A and B are shown apart, each in its own frame.
Chain A
């Protein structure tokens, strides 16, 4: 195309919205005298079909190659007019909008002033339009597969949805079994379904799904690339058990010399396991794992005459020679569902969690009341002969939540309800129990929550408003020191057991994933979503989504809903098979870039890398923009001293003439 600018200027009346305060004729007359302007027209509604037709015809008949539409805000109709240009066969980025409505006719009353300003705005747009360049929206193919990191209920649900839609899923779980925190729960509020009963089928489904490749006991090491094309590297940790041979019979564990000697993580260290173990009976995959930090043979090179597990395993599955394996594959999208940690109650020393065995956390109590737990579901303190059934039980809510002193200002959203649930279970299991709950507020916002809270109170559980200041021992009893703030009475409440309703925190290892995927954190340190309202499952990186408690505390219904949201967002990309890449991105002039790396540091999306270039025989470093990652903010362009990196459509040489026009006129 002949690149000498031939500009058409289209001045819109917007009914009377513009023409009421802007003298359209004067603007038209003025525009017709601007350099390179070939056609100037005005029309009642430029955005209407006849209005757009005017532009299309002029492009076709007059050979216009730049268009300026003087009308409303580009935020309103830029995309409309881009389509108009495209329909006439002109590159849609040859459009410049002059906003003479929102920022002119609507905010100035004096017609003379508004007209003068409209002229300036149009002139600045023409000045920029002369220098516009065609841009092309590229498309890249999307690898039809998803990586799901973390196999709690969030990860499992997302994986199932995507797999059911017919796409491949790699589900990576750090621990030996899928299931996450939910597998540790006994019943689930508000309906009191047995957690294992509703979760186990899903765990089995996900492991057996033909589209799901489950990588349990594995860790993501590295992810590179961009939306549609991520290269993933996963370390499959050695289990020292050949999963193809292991039948899950468990004889090895029975025989292990360390049987019942190692605190069980699953039971919150209240029960014991062997060095070769299944984390819990329903674990999926039902394959045994040797704990490399405990196993006598692996730590000392010797386990009696010969390792007992090896002798016991008739399948010959145990293999001490096994090594970590690296799996590498490509995916189009990534879902982060790495969940949470519970607050470490030792950080509130006044509650004596580290001092008294009968002060426990909510999650420990879940294990205690669970039929698969260390006591078989009996609420008892102590072991064997000394075991006693606690009658007076106090719950304390908001431990580690809504508490600036421990750096957690947020509400953990599940503690109110799980406290009510656990209190209810006490009433069920301990006849004549005397349960009270110390609380700041009761937040029963979810579906069926308020009803559940009511039910629990009717069962005789007392809610006492007050935040205990201290817990200490008096004889055999624990004393909860608190002020009942509704009656302003100080209390010293003697109890047998205290349950701390610990809140939810970001995982201690949350940084691993941040470093791999360059995620951001919100003020509460959970992973940051792209927009708190309108993009709650997206992240700043295209193609990477969040699900479950990794993004913030939530209960199971919300976790599942978000997982389904993340799955559907991922599916949008997978199903369309292509993704459009921004056109207004940055470009580097590698012949002048001095490789200082400022832009690399600054780019919030990690879109720029330094590469080696040949400059007159010398090897030099220069920036290179990854077009698929750049979001076109232009921060790099403002950082570069020599102007070697520029943002398309907002180049220095396009902006300086705008400044000149606005300055002079």
Chain B
């Protein structure tokens, strides 16, 4: 892979933990790669697993879903459902040949600004390793 390749990553963050954690990383003036773009949802339980398929289809090279640590969900149980759904989705994607590094899930709490930086770093590195996603990317975007 050429050194300039910059993967494009779409991330779904829950409002209460991960989005707040990412905000904290900002407030603490952390510095991390700019490859990751965030879509805020109220709960990781809101993230429809098909969003991941859709993001890959619409041009993302990697997808991240991040929520509160188990037991910390603002809505008590949402992240437990998310964990189950994405555990299966990840298996499915890898089974059809999507590289394991493309889809990731993380627990980042509102106080883990530093962890957020690490997660972004790791997700970007993995996506770089996987290279541009072409497998089932749409050539004509419709939206």
Binding site for B on A (CB under 8 A): 73-76, 99, 101-104, 106-110, 113-114, 116-117, 120-121, 124, 127, 520, 540, 584, 602, 604-605, 631-635, 637-639, 647, 650, 652, 655-665
In the bound complex, residues from chain B placing their C-beta under 8 Å from that of A121 are 37-38
With beta carbons under 8 angstroms apart, the residue of A540, A652, A658 that contacts B76 is A540
In the bound complex, residues from chain B placing their C-beta under 8 Å from that of A657 are 143
Contacts A102-B22, A656-B143, A663-B141; is A635 near B31 (CB within 8 Å)?
A: no
Q: How distant is the Cα of A99 from the Cα of B27 in the complex, in angstroms?
A: 12
Q: Is the CB of B143 within 8 A of A661?
A: yes
Q: Is the CB of B78 within 8 A of A103?
A: no
Q: Is the CB of A124 within 8 A of B39?
A: yes
Q: How distant is the Cα of A75 from the Cα of B74 in the complex, in angstroms?
A: 15
With beta carbons under 8 angstroms apart, the residue of A73, A127, A635 that contacts B45 is A635
Contacts A109-B31, A117-B34, A663-B60; is A633 near B43 (CB within 8 Å)?
A: yes
In the bound complex, residues from chain A placing their C-beta under 8 Å from that of B40 are 74, 99
Q: Is the CB of B34 within 8 A of A75?
A: no
**B32-46 with Cβ < 8 A to chain A:** 32, 34, 37-43, 45-46
Q: Is the CB of A660 within 8 A of B26?
A: no
Q: Is the CB of B46 within 8 A of A106?
A: no
Q: How distant is the Cα of A108 from the Cα of B37 in the complex, in angstroms?
A: 13
Q: Is the CB of A652 within 8 A of B55?
A: no
Q: Is the CB of B81 within 8 A of A602?
A: yes
Q: Is the CB of B34 within 8 A of A660?
A: no
With beta carbons under 8 angstroms apart, the residue of B20, B77, B117 that contacts A604 is B77
In the bound complex, residues from chain A placing their C-beta under 8 Å from that of B132 are none
Contacts A114-B34, A660-B58; is A655 near B39 (CB within 8 Å)?
A: yes
Q: Is the CB of B45 within 8 A of A658?
A: no
- Nearest chain B CB to A48 CB, angstrom units: 20
Q: Is the CB of B8 within 8 A of A663?
A: yes
Q: How distant is the Cα of A191 from the Cα of B34 in the complex, in angstroms?
A: 62
Q: Is the CB of B58 within 8 A of A664?
A: yes
How many residues in B have their beta carbons less than 8 Å from beta carbons of A?
A: 46
Closest residue of chain B to A127 (Cβ to Cβ) is B143
User: Beyond A73-B26, A520-B76: 20 further Cβ-contacts under 8 Å?
Assistant: A99-B40, A102-B25, A104-B26, A107-B31, A124-B39, A604-B76, A633-B74, A634-B43, A635-B45, A635-B75, A638-B47, A647-B42, A652-B48, A655-B51, A656-B51, A659-B55, A662-B8, A663-B55, A664-B59, A665-B8
Contacts A75-B20, A656-B143, A664-B141; is A650 near B26 (CB within 8 Å)?
A: no
In the bound complex, residues from chain B placing their C-beta under 8 Å from that of A632 are 42
In the bound complex, residues from chain A placing their C-beta under 8 Å from that of B75 are 604-605, 631, 633, 635
In the bound complex, residues from chain A placing their C-beta under 8 Å from that of B131 are none
Can you show 17 pairs from A to B with CB atoms below 8 A apart?
A73-B26, A102-B23, A107-B29, A108-B31, A117-B34, A520-B76, A633-B78, A635-B75, A635-B78, A637-B48, A639-B81, A657-B143, A659-B10, A659-B55, A659-B58, A662-B10, A664-B141
- Nearest chain B CB to A17 CB, angstrom units: 10
Closest residue of chain A to B117 (Cβ to Cβ) is A107
Q: Is the interface of B mostly helix, strand, loop or mixed?
A: mixed
Closest residue of chain B to A113 (Cβ to Cβ) is B34
Q: Is the CB of B141 within 8 A of A638?
A: no
Q: Is the CB of B85 within 8 A of A99?
A: no
In the bound complex, residues from chain A placing their C-beta under 8 Å from that of B76 are 520, 540, 604
Q: Is the CB of B42 within 8 A of A633?
A: yes
Q: Is the CB of B58 within 8 A of A635?
A: no
Q: Is the CB of B55 within 8 A of A584?
A: no
Please name the 3 residue pairs, one residue from A and one from B, whose CB atoms are nearest each other, closest first: A634-B46, A663-B59, A102-B26
In the bound complex, residues from chain B placing their C-beta under 8 Å from that of A635 are 43, 45-46, 75, 77-78, 81
Closest residue of chain B to A652 (Cβ to Cβ) is B48
Q: Tell whether B49 is near chain A: CB-to-CB under 8 Å.
A: yes
In the bound complex, residues from chain B placing their C-beta under 8 Å from that of A665 are 8
Contacts A106-B27, A631-B75; is A124 near B37 (CB within 8 Å)?
A: yes
Q: How distant is the Cα of A36 from the Cα of B58 in the complex, in angstroms?
A: 22
Closest residue of chain A to B110 (Cβ to Cβ) is A75
**B75-100 with Cβ < 8 A to chain A:** 75-78, 81-82, 85
- Nearest chain B CB to A348 CB, angstrom units: 29
Chain B CB count within 10 A is highest, among A127, A634, A652, A664, for A634
Contact indicator per residue, chain B 2-22, by CB within 8 Å of chain A (1) or not (0): 000000101000010001101
In the bound complex, residues from chain B placing their C-beta under 8 Å from that of A631 are 75
In the bound complex, residues from chain A placing their C-beta under 8 Å from that of B54 are 656, 659
Contacts A120-B37, A633-B43, A657-B143; is A638 near B48 (CB within 8 Å)?
A: yes
Q: How distant is the Cα of A120 from the Cα of B34 in the complex, in angstroms?
A: 11
In the bound complex, residues from chain A placing their C-beta under 8 Å from that of B58 are 659-660, 663-664
Q: How distant is the Cα of A663 from the Cα of B62 in the complex, in angstroms?
A: 10
Closest residue of chain A to B6 (Cβ to Cβ) is A113
Q: Is the CB of B41 within 8 A of A634?
A: yes
Q: Is the CB of A662 within 8 A of B22?
A: no
Q: How distant is the Cα of A117 from the Cα of B75 in the complex, in angstroms?
A: 31
Q: Is the CB of A103 within 8 A of B26?
A: yes
Q: How distant is the Cα of A127 from the Cα of B141 in the complex, in angstroms?
A: 14
Q: Is the CB of B15 within 8 A of A75?
A: yes
- Nearest chain B CB to A503 CB, angstrom units: 24
In the bound complex, residues from chain B placing their C-beta under 8 Å from that of A602 are 45, 77, 81
Q: Is the CB of B42 within 8 A of A634?
A: yes
Closest residue of chain B to A659 (Cβ to Cβ) is B55
Closest residue of chain B to A97 (Cβ to Cβ) is B40
Q: How distant is the Cα of A154 from the Cα of B126 in the complex, in angstroms?
A: 55
Q: How distant is the Cα of A660 from the Cα of B37 in the complex, in angstroms?
A: 12
In the bound complex, residues from chain A placing their C-beta under 8 Å from that of B74 are 633
- Nearest chain B CB to A640 CB, angstrom units: 9
In the bound complex, residues from chain A placing their C-beta under 8 Å from that of B59 are 660, 662-664
- Nearest chain A CB to B91 CB, angstrom units: 18
In the bound complex, residues from chain A placing their C-beta under 8 Å from that of B39 are 124, 655, 658-659, 662
In the bound complex, residues from chain A placing their C-beta under 8 Å from that of B51 are 655-656, 659
Q: Is the CB of A647 within 8 A of B143?
A: no
**B47-67 with Cβ < 8 A to chain A:** 47-49, 51, 54-55, 57-60
In the bound complex, residues from chain B placing their C-beta under 8 Å from that of A73 are 19, 23, 26
Closest residue of chain A to B39 (Cβ to Cβ) is A658
In the bound complex, residues from chain B placing their C-beta under 8 Å from that of A127 are 143
Q: Is the CB of A633 within 8 A of B143?
A: no
- Nearest chain A CB to B34 CB, angstrom units: 4
Q: Is the CB of B41 within 8 A of A663?
A: no
